[in-house]
Structure 1
Amino acid sequence: MKAVVMAGGEGSRLRPLTSRQPKPLVPVVGRPIMEHILLHLRRHQMRDVVATVQYLGSSIRNLTDIDLAAAARFHRERKSLATIVLKPVPNPLEYGVVVVDEGGAVQRFIEKPSWGEVISDLANTGIYILDPAVFDFFRAGEVTAWSGDVFPNLLKEGERVYGWVASGYWEDVGSHAAYMKANFDCMEGRVKVQIPGQRVGEGIWIHEDAEVSPSARVDGPALICAGAKVRAGAWVNGPCVVGPFTTIDRGAKVSNSIAWDHSYIGENSRLRGSVVCRSVTVKNGCTLEEGSVIGSDVVIGAGSTVNANVRIWPNKEVEPGAVVRESIIWAGSWKRGLFSSYGLTGLTNVEFTPEFAARLGAAVGALNPVGAEIAISRDYTRSARMIGRAIISGMISSGANVTDLSVMPAPVARFWAKHNRIAAMHVQTSPVDPRSADIRIFDQAGLDLDKRSERKLEGLFFREDIRRVSHYEMGRIVRREDQSDGYVAEMLSRLDLEVLRAAAFKVVVDYNNGAAGALLPRVLQEMNCDVIPLNASPVEILVEEDQVSFDAHLREIGSIVSAVKAKLGVFIDRPGERCFWIDETGAVLDHTAAFAVLAQLALAGRSGILLGPASASLAFSLIADELGSRFVPTKITPGAVLRAAQHAETVMASDGSGGYCWPDFAVSFDALFSTVRVLEMLAKTRGSLSSLRGRIPVVAHESALVFCPWDVKGRVMRAMMERHLRDRVDLTDGVKVFFDDGWVLVVPDADRPEYHVIASTSDAVRSRALVEEYSGLVRSVVEEMAPQVEAVVET
């Protein structure tokens, strides 16, 4: 017996599940429906199978374990020309209904009856057993339907047409609800299918290649497919299917939901009754409500909510913090831009894939003339190596010549770019999240690209307007390792080594397993420092560390500093850009205190400009004034701070987050040079970090985050300006309003749908009151505009 599987319909009711693939490939419990059907046919010894495409394909959506051998016996016993497999259904209105007599002979067909027409509950399952003679009733060249044309004609001609009533499972997977029901029925044992996993508990299947953390929770019925990962603290609350190579990250809860392959569910996200298709990224803190369906290659921004029964078609991006109330079909394409305030940041192998990196490299190459030299460096990690090599492939494909600097701290890469007048890229695992990577792009001055260049690069990338050169124009790759000698020599030349050697400081340095561990010891040795090194060996795979663990780690360094009576302790982040300071008593300095201490050292005995973001504490203005200098606020982004630091009078600049720039050496945030410069200044002043900390002016610095949709941000700024037309304000970044005792700053976040409200005054009660007052102003504008802002989506 030959089997014909009809596999051609559009599957319009299942969209967006079928927007990218035909219904036969829609997965049910980890296998495509087509595979379940073929396995079922094989169990009944039907090995000669033909599949039709683009013709009556709606039947392929059915999932069944009906006894086909019994149906075939019935067909032969009745000597039937055509036998239709029938199944009783509770609601016949959505099916073709068949009326049969006591012996099974078909009497009548009723297509999708109303309740008044329902005289049978036997639905046509779309499974037919046919004698080859039935094809004599087809007309050549005409489109013919089985239930609408062939079977009614057979009845008119008096041919033998029977219906066999099946007792097995049959489900019409023709809607999203039916699709989820089919998956859950399989796991609950209502249908006989082969589930691809090992049964490890009541209704729980976990594939041998899946990874489930011991601290994760899985409640059945649930299927965890091959390559899937369920991280620590995650909860899979069945019925659920976690598809192949999909990750459920820490603290996420997935309930009554289905996730297809290669998707990512971020930390602390919540899925309730949702279907997530292939290669979807749901970022941290999202909520997907009952009945939501997310198409393939969609990105749901952090903190977003997708309301119940909302459908999002493929290739859309929902911005962070959005509330999606309506289905998104046509609007939206990619993201707001490649660049954030900190360069390019994305999840490794989720957002930053080899394909993405190669395309980015080709766009960077196309931004420059054919034959241009571009350098690239990276950290020790495997993810940075993977992304970096893909970028190199892209750059040479668009005709750029690549200088591969291999492993190098980020500030050394900037230094090299500036001194060689060559644009450069640097790839590193994120210092705040080892699952993510950062890609930095520097111009020939070693600075981040300006906004104009960023927009031009984004245009090349998104339009795919990328130059592809001929084979003889392909770029070359020159590998140049250990290019740090010039950096070390320049650093030593800027230091008073005689004073430092005489001081012979004892210091504790935690290199955080970064590239600084191979460089800074050479300089400290020249300075005659007694160094207690921590975590100096490089590692390729980093372990995740939460804020509580990190704070505990800093306190441990403090214990070591006080125990060995060191002058200070410093923790250098893996890229070598930012540092955390511990004074000689073992006390950990927060970023504001550290900036204030370093400002006092930098301005001691000299006047100049101290630079910091507009959000920096009032204390810095007071310190600069006291020392006869001037504090100049800049825009908040790190790149803006560095560009402002090129001013000739700048003594020191900081981003307020542990990054310090010393323009007399290099215009970059450099934790390595910051370490030796602070030691030099302490040696010259004979001071200590703890004594300087005690001189910081008492200032109450308070802040809050207020949600604000992207489309309302401009209206908030307008409201602020209208309120303070006659007041003293500063518009460096956002709107800063000055009062006799301090100021309040209302500034939009460049990367998220939020406003920062920051107040800095001499009194804590006053600062908190200002934050509450101006947070309320932002919220009132958002509420006023709320009816005009429904679903916020990238366009």
Structure 2
Amino acid sequence: MKAVIMAGGEGTRLRPITETMPKPLVETDGIPTLEHIFRLLLRHGITEAALTTRYLGDMIRAREGDEYISPAGERLELCYFEERDPLGTAGGVRQAEPFWRGGEPFLVISGDAMTDADLTAAEEFHRQKGSAVTVLLSYAPDPREYGTVILARGGRITGFSEKPAWQRALSGTVNTGIYIISPEVMEQVCEGEKCDFAADLFPSLLEQGVPMYGLMCTGHWCDIGTAEAYYAENMRGGRRNIFSRLGESHIDGSAELDGVVVYSGVTVGALAQISGSVLCPRCRIGGGARICDGCIVGEGAVIGEGAILLPGTLVGSGENVGDGEICGELDRGGKPTPVPGGLRIPPEPAACFRLGAAVGAALGHGSIGAVGCSSDLSELLRSALLLGIASVGCTAYDCGAGSAAMAAYAASVLEYDLMLHIAERDGLAPEGGHAELLIYDGCGLYPCRELERRLERELTRTHPSAGGGRVSAGISAEQLYRSALVRAHRDMYDRRGAAGGIGDFSICLFGEGEEVFLLEDVLAELGYRIRAKRDADVAVYLGAGGISAELLDRRGGATRADLWHVLTLLTADSILQGGVTSVALPYASPACLARLAHRLGARVLRYGSCPSGGCESEARRLSARMPELRDGSFAAVHMLALLGENTLGELCAALPDFCFAEGSFDAERMCIPPDCGAIGQPDGEGYRIEFGRRGRVRVVPDGSMYRLYADAANEEYAAELLELSRERLRELTRNIGTEDGSGDGVQVKNSDGRAE
């Protein structure tokens, strides 16, 4: 069997190490990662290999030449195929056709894989199964940076998901980037055209019914694509310091090194203290310098005497840090952390400026609007955010003060690429709380996974100022929202004729945000009688952020409608009275709502959070045109128009009995199981657990917790199903992972149930 090694990646997440060397030459355990792969191939009798190169490919050829000779004297013949333009993983391998052409299967392996996988057993498995493609698999409790794979019994692959968001991570079984491929498969890749294995070729093969199988690696595997993974791989097995075997370094005897990766040609002066860091070739560390955990000093960089690099500082290749200089930032809880729909950061202008620059860099050139809560601190944070966006060349629009609901609506009607909402939480003073940034795309929803991944990368970088950016006055999100609410109610009135409109009842509003006051003004403008809570016929409650609405109608006996009963009524009215033929619903919504829409002749489209590859785009665009199905204030004005004809009790009497309850399960460490069926049936976003006639629960992974949505006939059943689901998750998380947070020691079973 021959081997093709994919060695063309830029390794951007390993910078500054890869600023001056290609990723395959990055050293692990003192030698280039590529040479670990060479030794693996030779152990399994592979004596010919081709390398597909692009970024700094000449350095690989100069280092490795046309033949590699192992310490045991074994010889591996090498040849090279250079990509002038990026062709993707499959496109690059297709270019190497002169090497692998013939009838025999060949191996494809990533140039950044550290593994002792049994390639001989994998080749035998490939032949026994009659597979066109065999994918070697591993297990990752956090699979977001990998391609995930879904297997049927016997190991046949039934699905792929490339680098999914938490909510879409349906399996912890991940693609290692090691394949055995039958040559005829590559005929589907057009020569010279960009094509990726996981994103393009493999899904196409699945659609055609081409047999593809997955085999779990029984040994070690690590993708060293991030600085954290690279460092952990070097320290694997309790190693203290790792020194390059390619050349000497000069470390003063009084210097203290603990957990340091040292390349060749490094100089460390007297009394220097270095821990948990990477020192790239020919860098110089002055006497008495202190380098803290998580730092990387690039090739040829100079750290002056007595200088201090604070934790996580990256010093680029050739850069200088002066004598006594302190470089980096103190961690005051300042790293952005994910929250549903966005990020949490310290309520400080500097942090917001950096975050704005990261969002702008992730978007590239474009336009971004920003809305903030109506407080002095929020206004300051919004200004810093806008300046950060403009600093990287984007156009930033200040859309004034307003709520998250207002920002989401503005995002769906204004032609900006993104809309941001910034607000302080848990106290107005910086020392008293944190700030929360919510991000909306042009549909008023959280953006796609591709943008999220770019933002994750940009958050780890510094962003020099770029020309062309500016801050401009945008359209007021609050005024836009107010006008839309008035227009929505009047449209309902016109649509229903004399029978609809302003009913003969009084109302009160209460809730948790500024949307309450705006909606009260709008309803007063429309002619409704606003009363105190105890005197009103109809009470409207708006939830936090203005996203949800609940109603209580005291006419004809008190009737309460929660959010989902309200949305069910509005969906029916939109179809019957509004002529709607398609409805967009979130995955986490009651089954009876979709059944009702189907029964009334409407098509139901589903959408969720953070999709990949443009999927669900039609559903997301449709949801933007129906704000009453996802915004509490719009839902309220539509419902009040309906109550002009009937009481809430009369409207709800036509609905089936159901209860849609939300809950959560906090996981100490989120673990996606290797078997996608361990929790329940994968279903668009998360898993669906069926409990027979009692109902079902949707389980959605979301960072540090699982979100639970019980769909049952009544509250008692819903509470019972939520607790049963929590118990299943307790058992699952008890059996997956280890106390130290690593993936080592996880027992993975193959598709036949046997432990690997």
Same fold (TM > 0.5) = no
Structure with bigger RCO (C-alpha 8 Å, 6+ apart): 2
Which bin holds the TM-score, normalised by the shorter protein? 0.3 to 0.5
Q: Say which one has the larger Rg.
A: 1
In the superposition, the TM-score normalised over structure 2's length comes to 0.45
